[in-house]
A and B are shown apart, each in its own frame.
Chain A
């Protein structure tokens, strides 16, 4: 008896607990499907929440174009509406050059949540548009300029120095006249300088030694750096960030530089490759629309109508890596055959906002790498015979570096 009482109590408690645990959250999630998430996963491939066309028309203020009931029907199965002869459905089907909007297996609630999201985004855009120009002005001002503060500090110190000197001489003059001493003859600048040099011989000697050592180091560096453009990082006509594209977005190097797979050049991508993404992504996180607009300008492309015009111009990039014409270098040979990473020579490009020349590209640098890098000969049929010969020549245990297969021969690169 006691046992059964206990059981009923437990059952009741559990029931309450279950109701609390499951009823409320369940009610919440069912009443509010995630409109934003659904839009981004289901609709954003073809529609924007703004006015611009992506594949299908922009959805801003869609609720004013047709009522909810019609929209739900259309989203669930657009083709059945067209076949049923709905006038508006046929009209937009014709406008989209008969591109079919696929049927979506979404519930009414889910569709309504998407429509609510689109409506809210449209209203949000209207309020931010007013604030737009202020934000743009703020970013324009934040430009690093001349170090004015430093200049002002130096000037103030100079003025104080000169003023103190004047005060000192006039005080001395005053003291001498009070004591009845004869006036000192005025000190000329040359005399003053001579006096200063005489009383600061040690400082001048130290400065001279430091200066000449520094001068020789700098001079040597400058001479040794002739023709070497290491760290050269010019600002490109379109400010393209490798850090953003290759680093954060994880786009492979050869996606754009596909020439590295087959050719001497790791080509600069043609702008149609940019458009693979930037047909959709029309605004960047750093420069907004200005830099992407330059791609559109080069293609004479109008993002609103999605039409390419006839007035297309090549983009004039600034070349960073300029191997002298007297040396031959082949990207495919190093990247595909030699299996080198791009970063071996180009450094961590995926972390660079502005690309710089990472390596010196000198002959000594090439040779050094050819001496160090081992060729993986195992399992490569091309090298089977050569590998045997090399083992005979250098011994079984020798490291088979690029040097050993002729990587230091003059005519390998100079011809």
Chain B
């Protein structure tokens, strides 16, 4: 009878379980050789720099404004008297810990909070100096569009997704050929056209997460909104898709006023021109992105930005 461990009779490859002999020389496994030409960023993460400089002051136009905005869920006050300008030409980032009213504030800007039965609003919101309560709600949402945290493409083809708002906005049903140009344009602005050009009739739900989110942005852009609200658009995405979307946001700010809610401080630092820090429903600090991160006025902001709590 021969056992696998019996060296005299076993001549095949070593068995999977080996005895460790303390007195023997240990076998040292060579570490994998790193390619010296590979970029260092792949290991250490991209450096924290702005994606683009601020636009000149002449390009900045105030589009929306909230005045002493208060939002309640039942008796719970989620947003406590926030006054904030939203400008075209600037990316406004709202940062702060979870549950501090950032998303609620964002959703109130196009009156999406009204879909929640218990939500109540006080204070005023203006779009081009017109009270949003005086604007017909569908009209308002066409001008102030929103992209959500979870990509939510409709269960239709890519083309139909982007054309959805156009079809619904038109008085008479437009032909597919007439929609092709605006749809391609919107996909192009969202940086998705090259990837989906040849299969516009494929189901949107088969796209990857990052592509789905860019499709949702394209869907919003197709209706030519004046303000774009982004609710943590990158939280479910990989770094590559995140980068694409960040570049897209910076590019968009000259045409559309962009408000983005983000939990990612580095992201806010990379893309935001103006940053608002919200804590427990209060707008603690609002100012230029660089200043708020490097030289915050408030102690709470400094603590949050430094990562003391979050």
Q: Do A and B come from one complex?
A: no
Chain A residues proximal to chain B, CB less than 8 Å: none
Chain B residues proximal to chain A, CB less than 8 Å: none
